[in-house]
Amino acid sequence: MSILLQQLANGVVQGGLIALIALGYTMVYGIIQLINFAHGEIFMVGAYGSLATYTWLLPQGIKDSWVLSLPLMLLGGVVVAVVIALIMERFAYRPLRNAPRLAPLITALGISVALQEAVRTFYPDATSALRFPRVFAEGNLALGPISVPWSGVLIIVVSIVLSVLLQVYINRSRMGRAMRATAQDPDTAKLMGVNPDRVIVLTFVLGAALAGVAGLLYGSYITNVNIDMGFQTGIFAFTAAVLGGVGSIRGAVIGAFIIGLVKTIGGQYMPGGTQYDYVWIFVVLILVLVFRPQGLFGEPERVRA
């Protein structure tokens, strides 16, 4: 029983990480109906951005104290992720905004490969995994039989806090209302004075910032990063977004925690072990999609002209 509880805790940590990335998928899809496959790579770039900040920008005195280095690395990672996402939006997606939907989709795959290869080629020693500093308290939080590393606790807390903040921002703020309006009907929103370019850019910025945060948290939890990490985790995040209903913030977060739990529990208690955890994730996804094609919290797809 205590092992099961521990496995559930492990799953929740994974879920938190996936949630931060899934939010980016779901927001971009909500606004421009694009599955941004390069989003996993934004997460990876964010992790390398914060690692670069740590390696080359921070003086030794700051490196020694995570209280100082964590926010600075966070800043570095988020800035790098956001800048890359802005460049991507401006030069790859904006020109294709009125193109058939397949064109930006293929472009997204292309960018994903290009970003991976760019990091592999230009980041020193990135051909193999790189060590990432812990930048958070060592040790574990012990709750009865469960013990979770503090860096894992941080993932859970940050992912929940940020998704709640995001939900509030979208529901309450003026820009949030503009985002919702654009998602519902871009043409009418434009007539009402919403600048779609600004809304779309903001969406990419928010998604990338969350992915950048996730990159740092992943690095600090796993303590190493490699260029494949975005692809791997991106697949889970994308699946989580679809499971929860693409376009829904709440759906993405809940979907992510379900995926994290299924991955851990399926990997440990089902035949085949962790090598088959993908199988259980997709079995759950297919089952949900059979009965609720729009996902758990998604709205049924409207036919668009």
Using CB under 8 A as the criterion, which residues of the chain lie in contact with another protein when the complex forms? 2-3, 6-7, 10-11, 13-14, 91-92, 95-96, 98-99, 103, 106-107, 110-111, 113-114, 117-118, 120-121, 127-129, 131, 140, 147, 149, 152, 221-224, 226, 228-229, 232, 263-264, 267-268, 273-275, 277-278
> Least separation, in Å, of the C-beta of 230 and another protein?
12
> Least separation, in Å, of the C-beta of 179 and another protein?
25
- The nearer residue to another protein, 251 or 260, going by C-beta atoms, is 260
Burial class (CB in 10 A: 0-12, 13-18, 19+), 39: buried
Give the distance, in angstroms, between the CA of residue 266 and the centroid of all CA atoms in the same chain.
22
**Rounded Cα distance, 261 and 240, in Å:** 11
Supply 164's token pair: 């709640």
Phi first, then psi, for residue 148 (nearest 5°) are -125, 130
Residue 15 · residue 90 · CB < 8 Å? no
- The nearer residue to another protein, 130 or 181, going by C-beta atoms, is 130
> Least separation, in Å, of the C-beta of 274 and another protein?
5
CA distances from 278 to 35, 37, 121 (A): 20, 18, 29
> Least separation, in Å, of the C-beta of 175 and another protein?
28
- The nearer residue to another protein, 83 or 103, going by C-beta atoms, is 103
- The nearer residue to another protein, 94 or 292, going by C-beta atoms, is 94
Supply 26's token pair: 């779901």
